[in-house]
């Protein structure tokens, strides 16, 4: 395809030509039969394409009725979109607020915040316990007297009764209160049960002394 043929083809289908190109085409069309024959070929191709395959005769009123009958009459789409989408369609600014990319971005920020806040709290040596369970100090819950029993026969305590039982977080937790806030389990299941006798110091009152 020559340059002139290309130009005339572009001219024929409405491609934008530069000023110089357009001048060249018009000059050639005025001057020579060759350019006019090329343009006529373009016309014939268009004519051929449009005329060779006519549409069948169709009753479009009936077709419209048929198509319409296949479409649900109930406002299905309105129910799906609950009015907001219709408004959004007419108001692009509002639609932009609820666009999927923005929703996805917002969700990402929330997830990131959910992960970051506990981590920052942990590093910050601050504790805000839940229901007092995070108290780093052992809690004295009872003062009891224990007597060991074997086969129903009382055994006399050898060094007096156990006097105190303390329940609370382990010593390590007590020394690092910043970690307590991260897991309620650490406070609700204390690792430290301390049972001591009157002047003893043994955790096991039944242990031989």
Site membership for another protein, residue 64 (CB under 8 A): yes
Q: Assign 161 to helix, strand or coil.
A: coil
Using CB under 8 A as the criterion, what x/- string covers residues 75-114 for binding another protein? Answer: xxxxxxx-x-xx--xx------------------------
CB atoms within 10 A of CB 182: 14
Task: Figure out which of the listed residues 23, 31, 32, 40 binds another protein, where binding follows CB under 8 A.
Answer: 40
Among the listed ranges 33-41, 109-117, 122-130, 141-149, the one in contact with another protein (CB under 8 A) is 33-41
CA nearest neighbour of 173 among 184, 162, 164, 161: 184
Task: Figure out which of the listed residues 23, 31, 32, 44 binds another protein, where binding follows CB under 8 A.
Answer: 44
Among the listed ranges 58-66, 108-116, 140-148, 154-162, the one in contact with another protein (CB under 8 A) is 58-66
Site membership for another protein, residue 13 (CB under 8 A): yes
Task: Figure out which of the listed residues 4, 22, 133, 179 binds another protein, where binding follows CB under 8 A.
Answer: 22
Cα–Cα distance measured from residue 27 to residue 18, given in angstroms and rounded to the nearest whole number:
14
Closest distance to another protein from the beta carbon of 80 (Å): 6
Task: Figure out which of the listed residues 23, 31, 32, 45 binds another protein, where binding follows CB under 8 A.
Answer: 45
Closest distance to another protein from the beta carbon of 108 (Å): 23
Closest distance to another protein from the beta carbon of 21 (Å): 10
Q: Sign (positive/negative) of CA torsion 55, 58, 60, 63?
A: negative
Task: Figure out which of the listed residues 20, 30, 33, 54 binds another protein, where binding follows CB under 8 A.
Answer: 54
- From residue 114, alpha-carbon distances to 102, 110, 119, 123, 135 in Å are 18, 6, 9, 15, 24
- From residue 177, alpha-carbon distances to 117, 126, 148, 149, 166 in Å are 17, 7, 36, 39, 18
What tokens does 13 get? Answer: 């289908």
Q: Assign 198 to helix, strand or coil.
A: coil
Nearer to another protein, 40 or 120 (CB): 40
Cα–Cα distance measured from residue 182 to residue 71, given in angstroms and rounded to the nearest whole number:
57
Site membership for another protein, residue 30 (CB under 8 A): no
- Which residues have a Cβ under 8 Å from the Cβ of 184 and sit 6 or more positions away? 130, 133, 134
Closest distance to another protein from the beta carbon of 35 (Å): 14
- What is the binding site for another protein (CB under 8 A)? 1, 9-17, 22, 39-60, 62-64, 66-68, 70-81, 83, 85-86, 89-90
């Amino acid at each position: 395809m020559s340059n002139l043929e290309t130009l005339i083809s572009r001219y024929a289908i409405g491609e934008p030509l530069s000023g110089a190109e357009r001048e060249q085409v018009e000059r050639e069309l005025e001057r020579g039969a060759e350019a006019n024959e090329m343009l006529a070929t373009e016309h014939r191709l268009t004519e051929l394409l449009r005329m060779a395959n006519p549409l069948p005769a169709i009753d479009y009123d009936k077709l419209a009725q048929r198509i319409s009958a296949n479409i649900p009459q109930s406002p299905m789409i309105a129910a799906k979109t609950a009015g907001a989408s219709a408004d959004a369609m007419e108001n692009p600014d509002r639609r932009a607020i609820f666009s999927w990319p923005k929703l996805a971005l917002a969700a990402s920020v929330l997830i990131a915040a959910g992960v970051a806040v506990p981590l920052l709290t942990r590093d910050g040596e601050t504790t805000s316990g839940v229901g007092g369970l995070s108290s780093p100090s052992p809690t004295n819950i009872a003062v009891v007297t224990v007597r060991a029993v074997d086969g129903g026969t009382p055994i006399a305590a050898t060094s007096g009764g156990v006097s105190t039982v303390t329940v609370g977080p382990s010593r390590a937790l007590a020394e690092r209160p910043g970690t307590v806030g991260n897991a309620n389990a650490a406070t609700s299941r204390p690792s430290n049960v301390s049972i001591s006798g009157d002047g003893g110091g043994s955790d096991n009152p039944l242990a031989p002394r």
